[in-house]
Amino acid sequence: MARILTGIQSSGRPHLGNILGAILPGIELSRDPQNESFFFIADLHSLTTLKNGTEREEYVRAVAASWLAFGFDFNKNTFWRQSRVQEHTELAWYLNCFTPFPMLANATSFKEKAEKLSDVNAGLFTYPVLQAADILLYDANIIPVGKDQKQHLEMTKDIASRFNLLAGEEILVLPEPRIDERIMTIPGIDGQKMSKSYNNYIDIFLPENELKKVIKKIVSDSKQLEEPKDPEQDITFKLYSLVASDTDIAAMRQNYLNGGYGYGHAKQALLECMLEKFAEPRRIFNYYMENNDELESILIQGEAKARAIAQTTIEKVRKVLGFSS
C-alpha cells in the first residue's frame, strides 16, 4: 500500500501544466486499489503571492473543481483545503527550526525572485518548509509533481532526515517524487515553462471563444503556409503531442514536414482536440463552479479525514520535541 500525495496552489485557475503535470498522474495513481491518495488545495502557499481573499476563494473552488472534473474519487481518498487542517502550519514551524538558512537561500523558487529582495516575503522564503510539512504530516510515499518541484522534494527528504536523526527513529517518512519524463515541463504559449506567473498558460476550462483566442496567441516562427516546417521546434506541435492520439500526432507531424500546412491549421486542430478530449471535464468543472454548496460539503468531509491523520503525526512530533501534554 503506497500513500500518494500532491497539492496545487490556489493562486489561479489550474492550467494545462497543472493538469498534465500533477492532476492526471495523481488520479491515475489513485485508481490503483493498492494506493491511498491525499490531494489537497495549497491555499496557504497561495498567500505568498496572492493577497486578495475573494480571489483566493474563487481559485480554491477552481482547483477543487478541477480535481473532481478529472474524476478524483473523494470518497475512497482524502481531499481537503490545507488551511483547514492547522497541523500543517504547526509542523511547518517545527520543521523551520530544522532547516538551515542556506538550504532555503538555494531554493530555485526563492532565487528566481531574489533579485528584488524587498519583494520577497518571509512566507515565500520558507515556502519549501510548509511544503515539507504538507507531505510529512501524512506519511506520504509518492508525490506526483512536475519537474519544477524536484528540488522541493529533495529539501523535504533532507529536513525529514534531520528531524529523524534527532528523534533517533524514523518518525517522518521520506517521500519520493514521481515525475513523468514525457511531460516533465509543459511549455506555455511562449515556449517557456507554462506558469501562472509568466502569464503564458492555457486554461482548458475557458469558454470556447476565449480558449480559441489563447491558442491563437501561441508563438510560432514566420514560415509561410506552403513551406515545410520542423514539428520538433514548434510550440503548437509540442502541445498537440501532449493531448492528441498517436495517430493524430503522426498525421500532424507529416503535415508539417510536407508543407502546405500552416500554423493556423495546427492551432485549429489543437483547439478541436482539446474541446473533444476535455469535453467531459469542462462540463463537470462548470457544474461544480455553479454548485458551490456541493463542493463545500465534499471539502468539509475531506478535512475531517485529513485532520485525523495529521493529528497522529503531530502528536509523535510534539512528543519528540517536548511539546506533548
Footprint on this chain of ligand TYM (rule: CB under 6 A): 5-9, 17-18, 21-22, 42, 45, 131, 134-135, 143, 145-146, 148-149, 152, 185-186, 193-195
Q: 5: which strand partners?
A: 38
The single residue of 76, 111, 113, 150 carrying the catalytic annotation is 113
**Pair 116, 109: CB distance under 8 Å:** no
**Smallest distance from the beta carbon of 152 to ligand TYM, in angstroms?**
6
**Smallest distance from the beta carbon of 305 to ligand TYM, in angstroms?**
17
**Smallest distance from the beta carbon of 5 to ligand TYM, in angstroms?**
6
CA nearest to 4, candidates 150, 143, 211: 143
**Smallest distance from the beta carbon of 250 to ligand TYM, in angstroms?**
24
The single residue of 76, 147, 157, 193 carrying the catalytic annotation is 193
Tell me the residue nearest to ligand TYM as measured from the CB: 21
The single residue of 51, 116, 157, 196 carrying the catalytic annotation is 196
Q: What's the CA gap between 98 and 77, in Å, rounded?
A: 31
Q: 187: which strand partners?
A: 193
Of 35 and 185, the one with the shorter C-beta distance to ligand TYM is 185
Of 70 and 261, the one with the shorter C-beta distance to ligand TYM is 70
Of 14 and 231, the one with the shorter C-beta distance to ligand TYM is 14
Angle at 243 between CA 240 and CA 244, to 5 degrees: 75
Of 18 and 313, the one with the shorter C-beta distance to ligand TYM is 18
Q: Cβ atoms within 10 A of the Cβ of 179, count?
A: 19
Of 60 and 256, the one with the shorter C-beta distance to ligand TYM is 60
Per DSSP, the residues of 215-239 read HHT-------TTS---GGG-HHHHH
Q: What's the CA gap between 149 and 65, in Å, rounded?
A: 23
Edge-to-edge strand ranges of the sheet holding 35-42: 78-81, 35-42, 2-9, 142-144, 176-178
Known catalytic membership, residue 223: no
Of 146 and 231, the one with the shorter C-beta distance to ligand TYM is 146
Buried (b) or exposed (e) across 122-151, using 16+ Cβ within 10 A?
eebbbbbbbbbbbbbbbbbbbbbbbbbbeb
**Smallest distance from the beta carbon of 118 to ligand TYM, in angstroms?**
23
Known catalytic membership, residue 193: yes
Q: What's the CA gap between 156 and 99, in Å, rounded?
A: 10
Which residues are CB-neighbours of 4 under 8 A, at least 6 positions away?
26, 29, 30, 35, 36, 37, 38, 140, 141, 142, 143, 144
**Smallest distance from the beta carbon of 49 to ligand TYM, in angstroms?**
10
| Catalytic annotation, residues | 113, 193, 196
